[in-house]
Structure 1
């Protein structure tokens, strides 16, 4: 499995925001979002075995794991092997995915956070995957402007999304305008800033 980095920090976003978490950032991505803040994950990364990853995770002394990227589902076979091991050892796992690849075979081992790509990203997600989101999972819209907010609203109106929905402004965008749009439109979402960027941790 190709890994970019493995570290412990506070979860900066999503359902577990603020909780201590071990992050496994996998290498490679099939998208090139215009505002991507982890472009370094497009690199090859370091090849690591399942055993090596398990050992490093054990040394970090945590129970919550976030597998992110890049796009982690590009490494489907080794990722499933790793998830099975985490399940045996009782870890609680979340996978962050860009919503372009089928995640159903992962859901027995991990909750899914599907990042639906908005127009400002220059990319698109497969919205048909939203039907597979369960109450255990979540959906995130990263928005840069009000056009993105309107897109998110249209998607939310059209699809029956069973998981919790987050709207997260791109770092440096007009946070107040996004918050006001959510209030004005009474959107069934949770507004969320990236905590790790606010407090200055990885």
Structure 2
């Protein structure tokens, strides 16, 4: 039987987050998530909405866009077992591949060629206790070369979230090991306020905005 995945959508857009922000990117959004973050902006992908596609069908659709940068996202993409084979085959074909994961699942099985963007959920998400701290341990223990394929993302909705994030970064020394991104929950916290806090505390983090929400209506799907 062919390996299949439940795909919510595949589309071409501008990468809105991560250190790759601004580049044209093909997004493959997989369906299914077993968490309930309060400020999730892709809740439509958390269930079983989508189409079962073989890995070959997915790759053919991705490559029809003729764009070298690809992201696998969700939902929580790592909940579908066949995603590991999909990522491996895309890497074998020479693509630059990003994985965006909610941070609840260990990433140690992900092909080392994949650039891994790992969320660390702040208290306002309602899910911070589910953060997989093994991912932090894995990054710290990885070789110098492997560390370049990781980045952590912290989304902040309040001063409480910021203080939590600052303490987490300090306790793990995380910014010494990989890039850390810090952004705001869209419409909940003014990015200028977060920028002020980062500068006051001299945090070695990269402030990010969700570019796609400024380019298009923030509720628009497929962008």
Give the TM-score normalised by structure 2.
0.87
After superposition, give the CA deviation of every residue in 1:138-181 in whole Å (9 maximum; x if it has no partner).
Answer: 00000101111111101100113211001010001222211111
1:127 pairs, out of 114, 122, 133, with 133
Show the 5 A alignment for 1:157-176.
Answer: 157-161=170-174, 162-172=177-187, 173-176=189-192
Matched, 1:151 2:164: yes
Partner of 1:9: 13
1:50-65 to 2 correspondence within 5 Å? 50-65=55-70
- Tell me the equivalent position of 1:184: 200
Report the Cα distance in structure 2 between the residues aligned to 1:25 and 1:179, rounded to whole angstroms: 30
Instruction: Provide the C-alpha distance between the structure 2 equivalents of 1:5 and 1:109, rounded to a whole number of angstroms.
Output: 24
The secondary structure found in structure 2 opposite 1:86 is helix
Report the Cα distance in structure 2 between the residues aligned to 1:181 and 1:160, rounded to whole angstroms.
19
Instruction: Give the distance between the partners of 1:148 and 1:127, measured in 2 at CA.
Output: 17
The answer on whether the counterparts of 2:73 and 2:99 sit within 8 Å (CA) in structure 1 is: yes
CA RMSD of aligned residues (A): 1.2
Aligned mates of 2:134, 2:168 — CA distance in 1: 11
Structure 1 residue runs of 5 or longer lacking an equivalent are none
- Provide structure 2 residue ranges, at least 5 long, that are not aligned to the other structure: 140-146, 218-222
Report the more deviating stretch, 89-98 or 106-115: 106-115
After TM superposition, what 4+ stretches of structure 1 lie above 6 angstroms from structure 2? Answer: none
How far residue 135 of structure 1 moved from its aligned partner, in angstroms, is: 2.5
In 1: Cα distance, 2:95 partner to 2:24 partner = 13
- Alpha-carbon distance between aligned partners in 2 of 1:2 and 1:73, rounded to the nearest angstrom: 12
